[in-house]
Amino acid sequence: MSDGSDKPASVDWTTVPFPSDRLLLGAVRMRAASDPEAIGVLIYNLVSHERELAARVFACALEPHSSDGKRLRDSLIEESGRELAARYTAMGVASGRHDGMRLVGELTATVKALAREGLGRSPA
C-alpha cells in the first residue's frame, strides 16, 4: 500500500535480530590475540557484512519481479551468505557451517518479511 509519498521503504535496523547480537567478547579477544584495534576491526567487519547482506536482501525483496541482473544479485547474495556463515563460525556465533547457514537463513527471512510488511504484503 502506498501513502502517496515517493519515499522508498527502508529498514529500521534496530528491529532486526542480527545473529552477531550473540557475539561474546571473549571469543573475539581470543581470535584477535587481545589486540584492541584488531578486536574493533573484527567486530566492525562482521557487523558491516551482516548489514550489507541484509540491505541487499531487502532491496531484492522490494523488486522481486525485476529481471535486470536478478541472477547476478541472487548469486552475490548467496556468496555473501556463505561468507557470512563462515564468519559466524569463526567468531563463535555459530557452532559450525550448517548452524552458520541456518543463522544467515533466519536473518534473510526476517529482512524479507520486513520488506513485505513495508509493501503491505503478507510476510509469508
Assess if residue 6 is contained within a domain: no
Quick check: is 1 in a domain?
no
- Residue 98: phi and psi, rounded to 5, are -65, -40
- Does a structural domain hold residue 7? no
In a domain, 9, yes or no: no
Q: pLDDT of the chain along its 124 residues, tens only?
A: 444 455 556 778 888 999 999 999 888 888 888 788 999 999 999 999 999 999 999 988 887 666 667 777 888 899 999 999 999 999 999 999 999 999 999 999 999 998 888 754 444 4
Confirm whether 57 is domain-assigned: yes
Answer yes or no: is 11 within a domain.
Answer: no
32-67: b (≥16 Cβ within 10 Å) or e: beeeeeebeebbeebeebbeebbebbbbbbbeeeee
| Contact criterion met (CB below 8 Å) for 55 and 61 | no
**pLDDT recorded at residue 6:** 52
Count of structural domains within the chain: 1
Q: Could you tell me how many residues make up the chain?
A: 124
> How many Å apart are CA 93 and CA 85, to the nearest integer?
9
The parent domain of residue 33 ranges over 17-118
pTM of the model: 0.81
Residue 12 placed within a domain: no
Q: Where are the alpha helices (DSSP H) in the chain?
A: 25-31, 36-62, 70-90, 97-118
